[in-house]
Amino acid sequence: MSNPATEYSLQIDHANVGFGPPNARTEVLSDINLSVTRNEFVAIIGFSGSGKSTLMNLLAGLQPADTGEVRMNGEVVNEPGPSRGILFQNYSLLPWLSVFGNIELAVKQVFPEMDSSARKAHIQHYIDMVSLKGAEWKRPGELSGGMRQRLSLARTLSMRPEVLLLDEPLSALDALTRANLQDEIIRIWEEDRRTVVMITNDVDEAVLMADRIVALTPGPKATLGQSFDVKLDRPRDRTTLNFNDSFKRLRNEVTEYLTAINKEAQRLRVVDDVALPDLAPKELSTF
């Protein structure tokens, strides 16, 4: 751990990502720098459309950086792999496989040396972990949204990833299910700590779950802004947290900061609307 490069579990170094042909290029992410220490829970918070999912794909290796690089344990990441388990926003479950089958596909691929009884126990362990016991042979189509995301989580965890990437995992769920799953993810993480990068658009969620919150400025040319350390004791209890002063202060700080950068961005946004001619409808009653 003396090498400063390997001190961090995950690093983004001056990364830029853009789309489109050279003459009409849209820079989505520009000059992204992020260092995540081992077993840290980082929440990246930003407005919709600011390039959060692109950032996540960059971390996962699904999207290469145009310039700059992403490093994991000091090694450059240039393709996706099971060591960075990603939890997709829209679950990405295979609808023709059962709950068990979906996890089995991942486990078979990542741990080919496992014999069948060990594999079965391994899969069952993760199914139990996300409280899907009893639904092993159901297909994703028969599950509720919350259950689907649980399954997706179980599949990701079953690969025993070093780093867990959560791409707005709870944004498609209703408030109650969401709170439930937040607690569950925190519980699982506390039982078996690992590096987590979560993308979210919910300040409360970020404050509740993360060790550190990093803001993503509104795009285009989104970059990472201020970073807030969350120094609340764990385990955090959502019912008492609402009366906690430092929680409230931090939440307000983050919200104010986000509002400020959003206003700034709107002010800076170049207005290139087509100028409309100054016309008024004719008064028809005069005819």
Partner 1 sequence: MSESKLERFKYGLLKAVDVSGFKVLDPLIRLIFREEPRKQSINILKFMITPIVFVLCCFWVWNVVAPRHKTNSGEVPKPAQVWDAAITNQILHTRENEKEEDFEISGQARLARIENLKGRLESATERSKQLKADLEDIQTQATLEQQKQLAPLTAKAEALKTANNEAQQSRASAAKTMSAQVASGKAQVDELLTLLRESNSLKESEKDAEQNLKDELKLLSEKPSVVQQAQVASNAAANEVQHLKKRLDYLTTGNRSVKVEKAVVTTTAALKKLDVAKTSAQILSAAKSVVSGEEKANRISEQSYPRRETIWFQVQRSLFTVFIGFIMAACVAIPVGIMCGLNKIVMACLTPIISIFKPVSPVVWLLIFQIVVGAFFLPDPNSYWLFEFCDALPFIKDLGVNPALIFSACTVAMCAVWPALVNTALGVSSIDQDHLNVARVLKLGLWARLFKIVIPSALPLVFAGLRISLGVGWMVLIAAEALSSSSGLGKYVWDEYQNGASQSFANIIFACFLVGIIGFFLDRLMILLQRSVSFDDGTAVV
* Residue 22 in contact with partner 1, rule: CB under 8 A: no
**Dist. CA 35–CA 26, nearest whole Å:** 25
Q: Does 105 bind partner 1 (CB under 8 A)?
A: yes
Cα separation, 105 vs 137, in Å, equals 14
Relative to beta strand 84-87, strand 195-200 is unpaired
Asked whether position 126 contacts partner 1 by CB under 8 A, the answer is: no
Q: 61: helix, coil or strand?
A: coil
Based on the shown chain and the rule CB under 8 A, indicate whether residue 96 belongs to the binding site for partner 1. Answer: yes
Return the range that interacts with partner 1 (CB under 8 A); candidates 95-103, 175-183, 206-214, 237-245.
Answer: 95-103
The answer to whether residue 109 forms part of the interface with partner 1 (CB under 8 A) is yes
Q: Does 95 bind partner 1 (CB under 8 A)?
A: yes
Q: Minimum distance between the CB of residue 140 and partner 1, rounded to whole angstroms?
A: 8
User: In whole angstroms, how close is the CB of 141 to partner 1 at the nearest point?
Assistant: 5
User: Which is nearer to partner 1, 168 or 215 (by Cβ)?
Assistant: 168
Interface region with partner 1, contact rule CB under 8 A, candidates 8-16, 88-96, 196-204, 225-233 = 88-96
How big is the CA angle at 221 (ends 217 and 225), to the nearest 5 degrees?
Answer: 30
Strands (E), the chain: 8-19, 26-37, 41-46, 67-72, 75-76, 84-87, 163-167, 195-200, 212-216, 224-229
Q: Which of 16, 18, 37, 62 binds partner 1 (CB under 8 A)?
A: 62
For the CB of residue 237, give the shortest distance to partner 1 in the complex, in Å: 34
- Minimum separation from the CB atom of position 103 to partner 1 (A): 12
Sheet holding 26-37, edge to edge: 26-37, 8-19, 67-72, 75-76
Residue with tokens 């926003």: 89
27: three-class secondary structure by DSSP: strand
User: What is the dihedral sign for C-alpha 245, 249, 254, 258?
Assistant: positive
Would you count residue 106 as binding partner 1 (CB under 8 A)?
Answer: yes
* DSSP annotation of 173: S
Q: Between 129 and 158, how does the x/- string for binding to partner 1 read (CB under 8 A)? A: ----------x-x-----------------
Please give the size of the binding site for partner 1, defined by CB under 8 A: 24
* Site of interaction with partner 1 (CB under 8 A): 60, 62, 79-82, 84-86, 88, 90-92, 94-97, 105-106, 109-110, 139, 141, 159
